[in-house]
């Protein structure tokens, strides 16, 4: 995940980009390879995306690497995928740190293998003081589970007399979510041809621009990423206002 200090010029980039990296298994199947080969091939576009986004000045990049529903997959595929996570983190964390990338994780980390949990702790500690860009990996994460956990946390605080139910507004609820320290997502990219968000960041995607690419993840390169950024630049983000109000605000 090299992220050099090279300067690049491109269209306007979002403040927070989230990506559902879909299509590894289908990519492998089309090449008559095992699914694990597709997951391994998917590391290359992650490196390219991190480098390109950092060079463009993007501040927050969140990648959906393993969903809470993915636990339903065959055990051998999960085992190989978790081993690949450990391998990739160990091989990339030095360069991420040297290039000012802060690495954070969200999801049910306690469900992961202890070796992977320790690798995650080390990577977060190593990069916690970096400020060039924050790269968040969602592992064993589900949007509905995140919403339920937040509701339970607030319910416990109410029961303990720490807060009054009337104090729970959108801002207070957002603070209880795993994405509390990150801004809402400006642009969501999903590769692989599917047109759905698959239980990812349900709260933070409320006003996101959605970009769906037919390209399978291992083939998603920086040219494809720039097309997504061009789409984002073309959008008028109204947040409930009229187009005229937005235009007048920019005058």
CB-facing half-sphere around the CA of 167: CA atoms within 13 A: 10
Residues involved in catalysis? 22, 70
d(CA 185, CA 206): 8
- In total, the chain counts a number of residues equal to 251
Pull the structure tokens for residue 207.
């006003």
- Residue 10 pLDDT: 52
Pull the structure tokens for residue 119.
């690798």
Kindly compute the dihedral angle of the four CA atoms of residues 221, 225, 230, 233, in this order, to the nearest 10 degrees: -170
What's the pTM value of the predicted model, to 2 decimals? 0.90
d(CA 212, CA 60): 19
d(CA 153, CA 37): 40
Can you tell me which residue has the tokens 């480098």? 51
Ordered structural domains, the chain, with CATH: 16-147+185-232 (3.40.1180.10)
d(CA 86, CA 65): 13
- The helix-helix angle for 75-98 and 114-127 (nearest 10°) equals 20
Per-residue confidence in pLDDT tens, the chain, 251 aa: 554 555 455 568 999 999 999 999 999 999 999 999 999 999 999 999 999 999 999 999 999 999 999 999 999 999 999 999 999 999 999 999 999 999 999 999 999 999 999 999 999 999 999 999 999 999 999 999 999 999 999 999 999 999 999 999 999 999 999 999 999 999 999 999 999 999 999 999 999 999 999 999 999 999 999 999 999 999 986 656 665 655 666 65
d(CA 213, CA 216): 8
């Amino acid at each position: 995940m090299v992220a050099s200090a090279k300067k690049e010029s491109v269209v306007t980039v979002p403040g927070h980009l989230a990506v559902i990296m879909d299509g590894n298994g289908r990519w492998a199947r089309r090449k008559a390879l095992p699914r694990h080969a597709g997951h391994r091939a998917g590391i290359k576009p992650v490196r390219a995306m991190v480098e390109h986004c950092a060079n463009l000045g993007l501040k927050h990049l969140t990648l959906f690497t393993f969903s809470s529903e993915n636990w339903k997959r065959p055990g051998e595929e999960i085992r190989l995928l978790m081993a690949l996570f450990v391998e990739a983190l160990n091989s990339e964390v030095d360069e991420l740190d040297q290039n000012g990338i802060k690495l954070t994780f969200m999801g049910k980390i306690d469900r992961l293998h202890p070796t992977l949990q320790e690798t995650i702790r080390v990577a977060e500690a190593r990069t916690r003081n970096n400020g060039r860009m924050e790269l968040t990996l969602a592992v064993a994460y589900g949007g509905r589970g995140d919403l339920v956990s937040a509701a339970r946390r607030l319910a416990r605080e109410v029961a303990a007399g720490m807060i009054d139910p009337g104090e729970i507004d959108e801002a207070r609820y957002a603070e209880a979510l795993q994405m509390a320290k990150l801004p809402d997502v400006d642009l969501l990219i999903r590769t692989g041809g599917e047109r759905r968000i698959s239980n990812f960041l349900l709260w933070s995607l409320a006003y996101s621009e959605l970009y769906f690419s037919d390209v399978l993840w291992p083939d998603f390169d920086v040219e494809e990423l720039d097309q997504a950024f061009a789409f984002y630049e073309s959008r008028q983000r109204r947040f409930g206002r009229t187009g005229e109000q937005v235009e007048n605000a920019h005058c």
